[in-house]
Amino acid sequence: MPNYLGDYRDLLRGFLSAGYRTIFFDELRGDEPQLILRHDVDFDCGLANDLSLLEDGLGVKSTWFFLLRSVSYNPFSARDTGHIRSIAARGHRIAIHFDPTFYDDVEAGFAEEKALFEGFFGMPLRIASVHRPNEFLKRSNVPLAGVEHTYQDKYFKDVAYISDSQGRFGHGHPFESEAWKARRPIHLLIHPIWWTIPEATSSVDLLDRFLERRIEQFRQHMADNCIPYRSLG
């Protein structure tokens, strides 16, 4: 695992040994040691599935948010759909990682994505997260088309929010936080990309190694689906 963040299994074990229990967003109650474990999947559904299997081994549950409009992956492809359905089938929750920058009418755009998600995956959308939310945060306490999202006050301000964005805990490790020391609820955002390429030594090195893997995967895809390219091998 990336040494600048630590080992994901050890991170979860630390929470569990401190008495935290993992919950879904709508299960948040009171001021007890509860961990809302959130994953925004920006780059790869396979890495997300790998991390969810690790969580299964610890009895941990989490919510996984997937982009419906992404250059990095296609949630409706056979491979990525398989990963997403596998995560849901094992007791985790899946939801939309919504990018409002695609839409002039954000509410209408979200309603379209919600209908697509629910129709394809056959389950209700209980919560959404927002991709690159800087502008969105100006109106962050308003649900999207009636659906709660992760930047509403009760999840973003009323409990401690900690994120590994950019491959680091920008405001200190979770175990250094006042909320963890007092055993209060924590909303922890984990991006799978930062935890699933063990040979990397920095965030940039990790992304380069990830890109190399994706290039090899796409070469194999081309060979499997294009006779002229396959004949070159």
Buried/exposed code over 161-198 (b: 16+ C-beta within 10 A; e: otherwise): bbbbeebbbeeeebeebebbeeebbbbbbbbbbbbbbe
CA–CA gap between residue 204 and residue 220 (Å, rounded): 25
Instruction: Tell me if 67 sits within 8 A of 73, measured CB to CB.
Output: yes
Half-sphere exposure of residue 62: CA atoms within 13 angstroms, side-chain side? 29
* 12 and 53 both lie in a single domain: yes
Is 110 in the same domain as 216? Answer: no
Query: pLDDT tens digit string along 147-177?
Result: 999 999 999 999 999 999 988 898 889 999 9
Of residues 126, 101, 171, 115, the one with CA closest to residue 27: 126
Provide the CATH number for the domain around residue 154. 3.20.20
Mean pLDDT of 185-194: 96
User: Rounded to whole angstroms, what are the CA distances from 228 to 157, 218, 221?
Assistant: 56, 15, 13
User: How many domains are there within the chain?
Assistant: 2
**DSSP H or E stretch at residue 80:** helix 78-89
176 shares its domain with 216: no
Query: What pTM was computed for the model?
Result: 0.92
Helix (H, G, I), strand (E, B) or coil at 97: strand
pLDDT of res. 233: 62
* pLDDT tier at 232, thresholds 50, 70, 90: low
Range of the domain at 174: 8-196
HEC states along 142-196?
Answer: CCECCECECCCHHHHCCCEEEECHHHCCCCCCHHHCHHHHCCCCEEEEECHHHHC
Query: Is 2 among the domain residues?
Result: no
